[in-house]
Amino acid sequence: MRCSSRILLQLVLIAVITGCTTGAKPVVYHSEKFDSTDVYARRFPVAANVACEAVRRTLLSQGYVISAASTSQVDGRKSFQPENDVHVQIAFRVVCAIDNADGKVASVFANALEDRYALKKVNNSASVGVGALGSVSLPFSSSDDSLVKVASATIAEEKFYARFFQLVEQFLTNEAAPALESMEMQ
């Protein structure tokens, strides 16, 4: 009886210790606020298609490659290489939505995703298979370099989006926006 109670006590202690060491992982979505913020969105007193054209021109003026563009959405990408073994890519997605009944006010929603890649070496060794003998390993080895995604995150910096929307506004106030609006009315 004494031995079985000792084993039971040991099992309880192991369970308690195991329970203390495995803590709950932090949940990312708890940091989401879902409050009214103007970090990712701005309203402009123009039609949605005019706003999206200004967005397209803004991204083009900064070296982004436009992968898709319509009257209501623009997608663009830009690549950077800050170090020899690091590659960074920013993917922009912008949606232009009509904000009122007459279609003369648009909300522009922008989101930029930063993907970070690192150069990793993959070691390869040579082996030869011979029918009667099996496989024979040779002392030759090589390594290949390949880019591996190491991080991906939405850019949340307020100043980044403020500069973007400021340039969109500049493109809206130049002569291209009034010309597009007059074409739309015809």
Per-residue model confidence (pLDDT) at position 180: 55
Nearest to 61 by CA among 145, 151, 166, 131: 166
CB proximity list for 105: less than 8 A, separation 6 or greater: 43, 44, 45, 46, 98, 99
Tally of domains in the chain? 1
Query: Is there a domain that residue 151 lies in?
Result: yes
The type of residue at 50 is V
User: Which residues are within 8 A (CB) of 83 and not within 5 positions of it... i.e. 6 or more apart?
Assistant: none
DSSP assigned state of 24? P
160 in a structural domain: yes
CATH number of the domain bearing residue 57: 3.30.530
Residue 87 lies in a domain: yes
**Is the residue at 136 inside a domain?**
no
The answer to whether residue 51 is domain-embedded is yes
In-domain check, residue 133: no
Looking at the DSSP bridge assignments, the partners of residue 148 are 118
Distance from C-alpha of 84 to C-alpha of 90, rounded to nearest angstrom: 18
For residue 19, being part of any structural domain is answered with no
Cα–Cα dist 75/96, whole Å:
12
Angle between helices 48-61 and 176-185 (to 10 degrees): 150
Q: Which pLDDT value is given to residue 122?
A: 72
Divide the 186 residues of the chain into consecutive groups of 10 and give the mean pLDDT of each group: 61 58 62 76 95 97 97 97 92 96 94 94 64 58 76 94 97 68 54
Domain that holds residue 156: 38-125+142-179
> Rounded to an integer, what is the distance from CA 105 to the centroid of its chain?
28
What is the pLDDT, as a whole number, of residue 147?
83
Calpha distance 133→110 (Å, rounded): 63
Q: Has residue 31 been placed in a domain? A: no
